[in-house]
């Protein structure tokens, strides 16, 4: 990775500073697992963020010149010597005044490397999301009255397109799909010739979505699945397979849940379960989530059932295992979000809720009930709360000239 090196212009100091910077970067690169090397402003501008080694004081003017040709965030690497930290503070004040994002990294080389890797991962996840083409299939922009396409574009940079229900129905009417290990595994679970026929018809929706995704160049989708009930089939199996294949897929044309899913997937590299809270036990401290579709590779095992609300077609009844989980939801502006760590409590099988069910111990359930971000929550296996907070910190808008109380910042 190419970084900027700021060094004092005092000739008597430069040889010492340059030699120290070289040694410092060697040690830091060793801790990071990849090289940091000084580069030109043009080379640095091609990186996903601008890292600057402030090796001495007297370099604020050079940084102001750097601002003209590079993009933020600006990560300032400090040392305990040669007025590096005072100069970093001057630069950070300038960034704050201009409404630009940045952070000073300080402490031991090992501590700086740890923090650098956290920032590096978050900003790479932001970049991944910004390059995505999301698709809402089965409705148009006017149907998303509570969702801001403008906020999605300005905050995350992702593109959003719409595919009409008539186009989807046309593709389903072709009655074909390509066999793959997942379709073979589903067919093998058929308990009767009738269920085998139901699976085949549900897989026609999978084939239709795959062709639309390829034709439109989509990276993730949300399907208006309830409008397909008049066909006698549901999208449950299709979305389960697509999520296993790495194509993040939400149901009920829920664009906000789709955005939350792609963010959680980007920071965790884990498949995500979109689900409704269906039971809350305040005394026990648990919340139970349920839905009729989830990634096929997210469960310990699964069996086939019917879609809960309609009793039609084929849905997934999955079983989860012990461990930590992350429960997440955000607005597309990122100005409101919820992230909670959950711990496995049970994998229930209540016939009065959607087929796949997961009960988690969660601290702070009350907040989820009093200030919800819609109904659906996004869940993945593992604790990624720190990573999500980091993503939001660097991705959400920053307001210049804001009034801020100076507080202790979080420990890393």
Those residues with Cβ within 8 angstroms of residue 378's Cβ, 6 or more apart along the chain or in another chain: 257, 260, 261, 264, 272, 273, 274, 327, 328, 329
Give residue 294's pLDDT: 94
At 144, is the pLDDT very low, low, confident or very high (cuts 50, 70, 90)?
A: confident
Residues 359, 294, 361: CA angle, nearest 5 degrees = 15
Locus of tokens 């740890």: 114
Question: What band does 405 get if pLDDT is binned at 50, 70 and 90?
Answer: very low
pLDDT surpassing 70 at residue 403: no
Q: What is d(CA 368, CA 339) in angstroms, rounded to the nearest whole number? A: 10
pLDDT at 13 over 80: no
- Predicted confidence band of residue 412 (pLDDT cuts 50, 70, 90): very low
* Residue 2 φ/ψ region, left for φ over 0, alpha for ψ in the -120 to 50 degree band, beta for the rest: beta
The torsion angles phi and psi of 368, rounded to 5 degrees, stand at -70, -30
Confidence of residue 8 (pLDDT cuts 50, 70, 90): confident
Mean per-residue pLDDT of the chain: 92
- Nearest-angstrom CA–CA distance, 251 and 305: 18
Higher-confidence position of 307 and 28 = 28
Q: Which of 201, 275, 205, 266 is nearest to 239 (CA)?
A: 205
> Has residue 377 got a pLDDT over 50?
yes
- Overall average pLDDT of the 196-222 stretch: 96
Q: What DSSP letter does each residue of 115-151 carry, written as one string? A: HHHHHHHHHHHHHHHHT-EEEEES--GGG-TT--HHH
What's the gap between Cα 257 and its chain centre?
11
Q: What is 58-84 written as a DSSP string?
A: S-HHHHHHHHTT--S-EEEE--SSTTH
Structural element, H or E, at residue 278: strand 273-281
| Cα–Cα distance measured from residue 24 to residue 21, given in angstroms and rounded to the nearest whole number | 5
* Site of tokens 């801001």: 148
Tens digit of each residue's pLDDT (9 = 90 or more) over 167-197: 999 999 999 999 999 999 999 999 889 899 9
DSSP secondary structure letter of residue 231: G
What is the model's pLDDT at position 134? Answer: 98
- All structural domains of the chain: 2-129 (3.40.50.10940), 131-395 (no CATH)
pLDDT of residue 312: 82
As a whole number of angstroms, the distance between CA 275 and CA 288 comes to 9
| Window from 147-151, 199-203, 225-229 with minimum mean pLDDT | 225-229
d(CA 234, CA 228): 6
Tokens of 247: 């194509």
What's the whole-model pTM score? 0.92
Query: What percent of the chain is modeled with pLDDT above 90?
Result: 84
Instruction: Report how far residue 234's alpha carbon sits from residue 292's, in angstroms, rounded to the nearest whole number.
Output: 10
Helix (H) or strand (E) holding 277: strand 273-281
What is the reported pLDDT for 142?
85
Angle 177-181-186 (CA atoms, 0-180°, nearest 5)? 75
């Amino acid at each position: 990775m190419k970084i900027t090196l700021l060094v004092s212009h005092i000739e008597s100091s430069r040889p010492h500073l340059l030699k120290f910077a070289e040694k410092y970067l060697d040690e830091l690169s060793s801790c990071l697992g990849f090289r940091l090397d000084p580069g030109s402003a043009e080379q640095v501008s091609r990186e996903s963020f601008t890292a600057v080694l402030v090796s001495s004081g007297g370099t604020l003017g050079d940084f102001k010149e750097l601002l003209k040709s590079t993009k933020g965030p600006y990560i300032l690497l400090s040392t305990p010597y040669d007025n590096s930290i005072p100069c970093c503070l001057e630069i950070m004040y300038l960034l704050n005044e201009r409404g630009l994002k940045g952070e000073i990294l300080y402490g031991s080389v090992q501590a700086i490397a740890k923090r650098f890797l956290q920032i590096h991962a978050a900003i790479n996840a932001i970049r991944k999301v910004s390059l995505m083409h999301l698709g809402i299939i089965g409705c148009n922009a006017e149907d998303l009255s509570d969702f801001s396409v403008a906020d999605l574009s300005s905050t995350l940079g992702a593109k959003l397109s719409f595919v009409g229900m008539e186009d989807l129905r046309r593709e389903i009417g072709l009655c074909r799909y390509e066999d793959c290990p997942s379709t073979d595994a589903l067919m093998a679970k058929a308990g009767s010739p009738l269920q085998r026929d139901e699976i085949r018809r549900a897989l026609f929706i999978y084939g239709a979505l795959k062709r639309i995704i390829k034709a439109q160049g989509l990276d993730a989708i949300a399907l208006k699945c309830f409008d397909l009930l008049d066909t006698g089939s549901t999208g449950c199996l299709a979305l389960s397979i697509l999520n296993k294949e790495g194509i993040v897929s939400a149901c009920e044309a829920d664009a906000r849940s789709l955005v939350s899913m792609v963010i959680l997937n980007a920071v965790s590299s884990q498949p995500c379960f979109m689900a409704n809270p269906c039971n809350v036990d305040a005394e026990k401290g648990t919340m139970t989530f349920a839905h009729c579709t989830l990634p096929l590779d997210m469960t310990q095992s699964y069996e086939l059932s019917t879609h809960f609300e309609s009793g039609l077609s084929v849905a997934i009844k999955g079983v989860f295992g012990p461990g930590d989980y992350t429960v997440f939801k955000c607005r597309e502006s990122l100005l409101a979000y919820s992230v909670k760590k959950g711990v496995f409590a049970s994998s229930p099988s209540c016939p009065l809720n959607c087929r796949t069910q997961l009960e988690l111990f969660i601290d702070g359930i009350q907040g989820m009930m009093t200030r919800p971000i819609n109904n659906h929550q996004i869940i993945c296996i593992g604790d990624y709360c720190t990573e999500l907070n980091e993503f939001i910190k660097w991705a959400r808008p920053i307001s210049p000239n804001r009034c801020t109380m100076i507080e202790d910042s979080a420990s890393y």
